[in-house]
Structure 1
Amino acid sequence: MMRIAFVGWGYMPEPPLSNSIYTLMHEYKQHLEELGHQVDILNNKNVHETIKYLNDNNYAFVHSHAYNFVAELNQKLKQKYCFTSHYGYLLKEDRWDENFQEAFKPYMDVPGIIAPSRLTAEFFQKKGYSGYLKIQPNGIDTKKFNFQEKGNNKAVCLGWIQPRKQQRLLAEAIDGKLELDFVGPLDDPDFIEVTTTKYLGIWSLEQVYANLTNYNCLVLISDGELAPLVVLEALAAGLCVVVSESASANLHTKEFIRVLPDNILSNATPENQTIISETIIEMIEKNQNYRQEIVEYAKENFDFSHLVKNYLQIIDEFKDFY
């Protein structure tokens, strides 16, 4: 039995809001505790209080998801720890905001990095990182997802509605060509509904688990992602997915997965708009033939029952590394 600590950055979303990184931490907690380990999630905005608590308690392993705590943890945490960055533009330096440029500098001195994809791991290596580095894909508990044999012949775009995820451009591109629902907190003042789209507001995590399977296709054509959880959630619910290159981490070449360029929405030529609409329509139509296969694919590749074993191996190797 190990004592394990996950470190958040003090975000407390009020229902129905949720956050995929916190969802991940809670899933790890549940699955590790089922195996007999003790897991604490420390979620304090004050990094000094977090460090004091960690230093005063004898954790076997500390895993931080707080991108802005790295410098302080490097300097003041008495034990070696691992860090995962979830910053959407991590792989696109020209898009880094000022806060992240500052936060990134101490990343090279982190004792261990757990990367959510191969591309992320390679990025840190190219930057000169020489500490402990392993890949651990994001995961889901497929048992939590409702599954229906048939969808409603519609597409859904689920997640924070913000410029990085390009929902406004997606709505314009598919206007009048197919039905698509948008779900998520509204964080783009320029986003508007068009003739064949609807904004359904915010779903709680329970509603995501219950409602996703009503659709045939999830669309996420974002220009910056690392390994978005919503894509795995859609697969667990039996949906085909149409994603940008940035949103395709850890996915395999499959008939029910279609990857489009990150800039296909911002470079809104009539040809590109046609490609987007026709791809989504094709995936909606194909979905009925693949729903069961898609769910099996999600179970085999992204279910926590498999991933937690790899995670425990990472912890063991990290301890041996130091």
Structure 2
Amino acid sequence: MKILLVGPGIMPIPSDGWGAIETLIWNQKIYCEALGHKVDILNKGGLKAAVLAKPWSYDVVHLHFDPLTKFWDTLSIYFGFKLFITSHYAYAAFQKKWDCGYEITFKNLMKSKRLIVFSQEISNVFLSNGFKGKIEVLPNGVEMKQFSFKEKTLYKKAIYLGRIEARNRQNEVTRKIVEKRSIICDFVGPIGTPDFKVDHKYVNYLGEWNRAEVHENLTNYSCLILFSDGEAHPLVVLEAMAAGLSLVISKEASANLDLSLPWVYVCDTIDEVLENAEKAINENGLYRKQIRKYAEENFDYSIIAQKYIEIIS
């Protein structure tokens, strides 16, 4: 097939740093091309860029920027090409948390013919609201071969990897760690909130890592903390498993996981985060090979790419 992937046009593709959408789009291109398909990327907005890309000349166009849903739906009707749309909105599965901007986007998505969503929970939201088109669930994927893996962890501590912002609740977790002093946690990621402060021996801010540093350094830790209050299917969770880390996560960050696994800790409160992180750090050595195998068998991008091609064919 000939496939056109449409990105947000905010960051370059591939991204060397923070850009989960951009990483996903690049992986789709690389792995679908490995399967013998022709894949191009359009990472510019506007009518002129869209028309110059000649979307009608592709078998499939896949939009990864839902604010442009109405625009691309109109183009697909006018030019007659096959369009799939994926929403990357973090709160897509949690309707009570939507802002007014996504409510408008959602109404446009409801009129679309074909959606690819990250979880069954997101699919259920669309179906319960009366979606009549074709909707398929496709989890995020991870490049297993890119991640270093050590059978024994280097650090007996946690890592909180991701953009530092209110949705990810690093400030709340940091304050509780300083109060309880039960674990040590490193924080990595761009700072998106002005009040993030780490000046205590139990919490360390290591700045931003590029992709190569994530691939190399993540396996040095015992567990990942992600106590976010909204996620579609967080790539960082898959990356952590590829590196052998246990997971200490919120329910909102648990999409597509087998929650019965002994190294998956789903937390409702910050106190639970610390309690489970301490346990995960101590027990991670028992499960590292099992964790990586689980990630490889379920989320390696070679598997996800195969499923993707089946969906869009």
TM over 0.5: yes
With 134-143 and 8-17 compared, the bigger mean Cα shift is at: 8-17
Aligned ranges for residues 121-132 of structure 1 at < 5 Å?
A: 121-132=123-134
C-alpha displacement of 1:141: 1.2
Q: Quick one: distance in 1 between partners of 2:55 and 2:110?
A: 26
Residue 248 (1) aligns with residue 257 (2): no
Counterpart amino acid of residue 249 in structure 1: A
What is the match of residue 181 of structure 1? 186
With 121-130 and 97-106 compared, the bigger mean Cα shift is at: 97-106
Contact 1:113 1:134 in 2 (8 A): yes
Counterpart amino acid of residue 195 in structure 2: D
Counterpart amino acid of residue 150 in structure 2: Q
What is the match of residue 198 of structure 2? 193
Counterpart amino acid of residue 204 in structure 1: N
Deviations 1:129-168 (A, max 9, x none): 1101111110011011001122110100000000000000
Report the TM-score, using the length of structure 1 for normalisation: 0.91
Q: Quick one: distance in 2 between partners of 1:156 and 1:309?
A: 31
Relative distance call for 1:194 and 1:93 in structure 2 (3 A) is farther
Q: Quick one: distance in 2 between partners of 1:255 and 1:55?
A: 49
Residue 141 (1) aligns with residue 122 (2): no
What is the match of residue 310 of structure 1? 307
CA RMSD, aligned part only? 1.5
What is the match of residue 71 of structure 1? 70
C-alpha displacement of 1:277: 1.4
Q: Quick one: distance in 2 between partners of 1:116 and 1:16?
A: 23
SS at match of 1:33: helix
Q: Quick one: distance in 1 between partners of 2:273 and 2:264?
A: 14
What is the match of residue 156 of structure 2? 153
Q: Quick one: distance in 1 between partners of 2:235 and 2:63?
A: 18
Relative distance call for 1:56 and 1:166 in structure 2 (3 A) is closer
Deviations 1:38-88 (A, max 9, x none): 111110032x13431354551011111111110111112222311111101
Counterpart amino acid of residue 145 in structure 2: K
What is the match of residue 91 of structure 1? 93
What is the match of residue 202 of structure 1? 208
Aligned ranges for residues 1-322 of structure 1 at < 5 Å?
A: 2-12=1-11, 17-46=17-46, 48-55=47-54, 57-77=56-76, 78=79, 79-151=81-153, 152-175=155-178, 176-195=181-200, 196-252=202-258, 253-261=260-268, 264-265=269-270, 273=271, 275-316=272-313
Q: Quick one: distance in 1 between partners of 2:118 and 2:111?
A: 19
Counterpart amino acid of residue 156 in structure 1: I
Contact 1:221 1:244 in 2 (8 A): yes
SS at match of 2:57: coil
Q: Quick one: distance in 1 between partners of 2:12 and 2:44?
A: 13
Contact 1:173 1:276 in 2 (8 A): no
Q: Quick one: distance in 1 between partners of 2:197 and 2:185?
A: 13
Deviations 1:214-235 (A, max 9, x none): 0000000001111000000000
Q: Quick one: distance in 2 between partners of 1:16 and 1:311?
A: 24
Q: Quick one: distance in 1 between partners of 2:59 and 2:143?
A: 25
SS at match of 1:190: coil
Report the TM-score, using the length of structure 2 for normalisation: 0.93
Relative distance call for 1:160 and 1:121 in structure 2 (3 A) is same
C-alpha displacement of 1:169: 0.3
SS at match of 1:4: strand
With 302-311 and 231-240 compared, the bigger mean Cα shift is at: 302-311
Deviations 1:242-262 (A, max 9, x none): 01001000000201111112x
Contact 1:223 1:246 in 2 (8 A): yes
Q: Quick one: distance in 2 between partners of 1:276 and 1:103?
A: 33
Q: For structure 1, which runs of at least 5 residues remain unmatched after alignment? A: 266-272, 317-322
With 204-213 and 73-82 compared, the bigger mean Cα shift is at: 73-82
Contact 1:238 1:291 in 2 (8 A): yes
